Amino acid sequence: MAKRHGFTLIELLVVIAIIALLMSILMPALSRVKEQSKTVACAANLRQWNLTFAMYVEESAGKFPSGTSPQGFMWVDQMPSAMLNWKENPIWFCPVATKPKWNIDGTVNARFYNSSAWGVYADAHAGPLGIAGSYGLNGYVLSTLPGTTFEGGRRTDDNWRTPHMKNANDVPLFMDAMRFDLWPIAQDTPPTLEDMQWQGTNHMARACTNRHKTFINSAFCDFSVRRVGLKELWTLKWHKTYNIRGPWTVAGGATADDWPDWMASLKEY
């Protein structure tokens, strides 16, 4: 009699079980690699923005944009027109957050999540496409004239106006954020929920978004880029008189119990 060649049912089940086991081991690793690649791409975007701001400073007597426009503090109105076509310029978006919350006509796509972008906002300079993105500028770097106080005591007197300052590597410039600008103060409270949309005058919440597994990416005024822990945000030198030992820092007496549940276990700063 001729011999039969092939797998028995038991052998097939064993092979399938082995494949399933390998997949269960590999999938988390592949997921981590994918997340890491998005974090790296996000940092690369911010390095491109560093070049943009560095060129602007070089051509503007060593100063950042003033940020003033008919729409208020709209620094984007002073960027080169070629930068404003966000549909063709991917550096406006962190790869984790590519879908704008609003449509060009002002209707809402969805509520904010960590994976949400801001926009679309339209104005005279941005043109019919409007503007959208998922990064925000530290408003205190703008070279706006002193003497303006707004939104809960934020003062343009405290602005840096130039990247030429001491410890520029601790002064945020441009970062993952839920709005195109932010003006944090030390008293700003952390978001109650992980996916809580920034609200009102709480500007720190605009950057306290869990985009990269307890971190965001940020560019600094020395034109470097690095990861910043979410609790670390309260320790950065946002403006000239910002208190880096404020109520939400270890130096200011904050403990894990003071933070919202979703942030309690994060590293203290």
pLDDT digits (tens, 9 = 90+) for 54-81: 999 999 999 998 877 655 557 887 777 7
Q: What value does the mean pLDDT take over residues 5-23? A: 78
Instruction: Say whether pLDDT at 218 is over 90.
Output: yes
Q: Name the pLDDT band for 232 (thresholds 50, 70, 90).
A: very high
Q: Write down the pTM of the prediction.
A: 0.84
> In angstroms, rounded to a whole number, what is the distance separating the alpha carbons of residues 8 and 47?
57
Residue 3: how many other CB atoms lie within 10 Å: 4
Give the residue, 135 or 124, on which the prediction is more confident. Answer: 135
For 26, 27, 176, 207, the CA distances from 33, given in Å and listed in that order, are 11, 10, 20, 24
Say yes or no to pLDDT of 221 above 60.
Answer: yes
Look at residue 125 and tell me whether its pLDDT is greater than 60: no
